[in-house]
Structure 1
Amino acid sequence: MDRRCPDCDVHMEDVKLRTYDANPLAVTTDEHREGILGKLGVHERLDVKALMCPRCGLVRTYADLGDLD
């Protein structure tokens, strides 16, 4: 993923964002998962990718949509 800072116009670097219990961040969509878990009502979970500007410190998060990068 090649993103540029909207303020500084420099390449943003990958960083890891974690919760206090050390779990990676994720989002849950309204879409049901495939297979048996989806039939049981489990929703799709997407990992969150974080990028930080090395100049100003701006952090942006993006849902990892896989092939749409």
Structure 2
Amino acid sequence: MYSQKRCPDCGVELEALEIRTAEGFTLHVETNEPKQGILGGLGAKEKLTPTAHVCPECGLTRLYVEHDSN
């Protein structure tokens, strides 16, 4: 679910953008929660993909992770 994100400094709506490493890989955030299934039993942690948003006025960039509400 998309929620409108606003810049805390300027008050304008943030614009979504794609952020990657220099090698072209997408970013991932590793949580302390174990992965579901057999991989979690082996110690693998849950990985989430953040979305980046930038303020067109001041350039403030923020990363957000959508949490599953299950």
* TM-score relative to the length of structure 2: 0.87
Structure 1 runs (4+) greater than 2 angstroms displaced: none
- The structure whose residues are more often helix, as a share, is 1
Give the letter for the 2:5 counterpart.
R
1:32 to partner: Cα distance: 0.4
1:53 corresponds in structure 2 to: 55
Runs of 5+ in structure 1 lacking a partner? Answer: none
User: How far is the alpha carbon of 1:64 from its aligned partner?
Assistant: 2.7
Using the size of structure 1 for normalisation, the TM-score is 0.88
How far off is 1:35 after superposition?
0.5
Cα distance in structure 2, aligned partners of 1:3 and 1:22: 26
CA distance in 2, matches of 1:21, 1:42: 24
- Following superposition, the deviation at residue 31 of structure 1 comes to 0.6
Q: Decide which structure has greater strand share.
A: 1
- Which AA in structure 2 matches 1:26? H
Number of corresponding residues: 67
Unaligned 5+ residue runs, structure 2? none
